[in-house]
Amino acid sequence: MTAYSPPYRDMLFVINELFGLEKINHLEPYQEVTSDILSAVLEEAGRFSREVLSPINQKGDQEGAVIRDGKVTTAMGFREAYRSFVEAGWNGLTGPTGYGGQGLPLLLGAAVEEMWHSSNMAFTLCPLLTRGAIEAIHYAGSQALKEKYLPAMVSGRWAGTMNLTEPQAGSDLSSVKTKAVPDGVGYRIFGQKIFITYGDHDFTENIIHLVLARLPDAPPGVKGLSLFVVPKVLVDTGGQLGKTNDIRTVSLEHKLGIHGSPTCVLAYGDGEGAYGEILGEPNRGLELMFVMMNAARFSVGVQGLALAEKAYQEASGYAHNRIQGIPVGMTSPVPIVHHPDVRRMLASMKSRVEACRVLAYYGGLMLDLAHAEENVAKRQRAQERSDLLTPIVKGFCTEMGVNVASEALQVFGGMGYIEETGAAQTMRDARITTIYEGTTGIQANDLLGRKLIRDQGAGVMALLEEIKSSLAIHANTDALKPLADTLSDVVKGVESATWHLMRESTTRPATAFGAAVPYLHLMGWLVTAWLMLESAGLADANKGAGEAGEIFYRTKWATVNYFFRHELPKYKVFQEQVCNGGETLMALDPQWL
């Protein structure tokens, strides 16, 4: 099995050279983030990934979490790894400084999180959910609520979860039935939640659940949902733990992958009701939950990238060591990496991984600017770009993660289909990323409905204008002009598809939304191609930067060229589906399917 090796050089290239730390470290919250600090954090996070998380990844898959007498025990080594994680201060890396966090930018946080997910996704889901809960409480909580919960959550002493789904209410949250009954002090929660990641575990002394529920006088549908902070163990005003709350872990889900992560069914209110405190205003729970959900969606996009990187490393390591067959033009057996089709698969995987990395980190950069930019107009533009990018990062990167993991299995051949190599686990783990925190279809509907139609295409057109400005510069460079010309065709295709959907949405909305997923893929290819072109420009300018540097930049140049010639042409399929596929889709009666 190939040991995971953090791709430091490419991470530093994207952060330092492609985007530039100067874009954020002039802002007040990030002024201490220098290149030296960036390198030091990445190296230490990489060491933790290699030495602590990666060695227990397969063990977590084989053992899984178990439940006995209503108590959940995680796989061997997970609890000890979490203790080391917290003691090293990793849980508060991007957390609010006022409550013990380090307040580092998401541009850096995305790279660190990529390493953790590559080395052990099942483990990393716990701090991922905690960070989302921290963000929601920090955004909407009263000062008393923040002081009561955030210090222990930011430090990692307590964990957090997100409770949306119920047996009768999957993605349709209008069907949520969990009740919240006022008791004069707070609220009593009654109901059942399913699919709760790390809903119970043995990492921490307390777990803070964020629960969607309905007040007695709530209006029907999603407008009647409120959000409640419901601790596993009750907390007094001084932050001390009291008795266990009325919450019961009913069972653990039996899953395709991420076996090391306990996914729980939780029952609230078997007795007097689980005590909870309202977060924000009544009947605005879904709005607040989306603060947490959007943070999770970005992180799941990083998961897609991380598992694609892991799958690529596994396949590349195997291909360089497995000797089988005599490739065309050779006279003796050599490692299979020399077979043209294996080389094609590895090149495809490598180029997709690097494309997803620039997309995901760009999403992190926009989130940082939306949070910290002092200029109001610039901050608003960053927020609008971040809103547009979130469904693309989540949807496109996770779909690529599944694709790369599947291709890696093909490189392994039959050896990939057995568990010892680890390739099968990577594929099984990757498969969930396109589903939870909103399926690819839900991301696409969000992109089309909330990010395109609602603002009449303004956000997409602003992005296209920025890309056109880049093209005008690169078209004057001989080496980059062929790539720029190709991207220009993609821009035209996206413009055509965008206006087509805008028209269709007013007259035939079902047809428009039938093309939402192809449109998300089309946008993913557009943004990644733009950022890969920018990468090629840097590679072309630095090809002579010393022997080691020259190898990196030559490799980057070759990878971008492969991406443009072999991968990017797929955009045409999605453009065709958007612009001309509606009639054939709607001609299929649901009874025929």
Question: Rounded to an integer, what distance in angstroms lies between the CA atom of residue 209 and that of residue 125?
Answer: 15
Task: Supply 1's token pair.
Answer: 């099995």
In contact, 296 and 290? CB cutoff 8 Å: no
Q: Which of 345, 476, 503 shows the shortest CA–CA distance to 409?
A: 345
Question: Rounded to an integer, what distance in angstroms lies between the CA atom of residue 405 and that of residue 570?
Answer: 19
Residue type, 231: P
Three-state SS at 319: helix
* Residue 96 CB neighbours (<10 A): 18
Which one is catalytic: 314, 384, 399, 437? 437
Task: Supply 350's token pair.
Answer: 């490598």
Looking at residue 221, what DSSP letter applies? G
In contact, 259 and 60? CB cutoff 8 Å: yes
Q: Which of 539, 591, 589, 543 shows the shortest CA–CA distance to 561?
A: 539
H helix count then E strand count, the chain: 18, 12
State the distance between the two ends of the chain, measured CA to CA, in whole angstroms: 42
Answer yes or no: 374 catalytic: no
**CA separation, residue 74 to residues 63, 82, 422, 514 (Å):** 9, 11, 20, 41
Q: Which of 302, 298, 303, 442 shows the shortest CA–CA distance to 371?
A: 298
Residue type, 495: E
Residue 445, φ and ψ in degrees, nearest 5: -65, -35
Per the DSSP assignment, residues forming a β-bridge with 213 are 226
β pairing state of 274-279 and 225-231? antiparallel
Question: Rounded to an integer, what distance in angstroms lies between the CA atom of residue 397 and that of residue 110?
Answer: 13
Residue 41: CA atoms inside 13 Å, Cβ hemisphere, count? 25
Q: Which of 481, 310, 302, 367 shows the shortest CA–CA distance to 19?
A: 367
In contact, 187 and 180? CB cutoff 8 Å: yes
Residues recognised as catalytic: 437
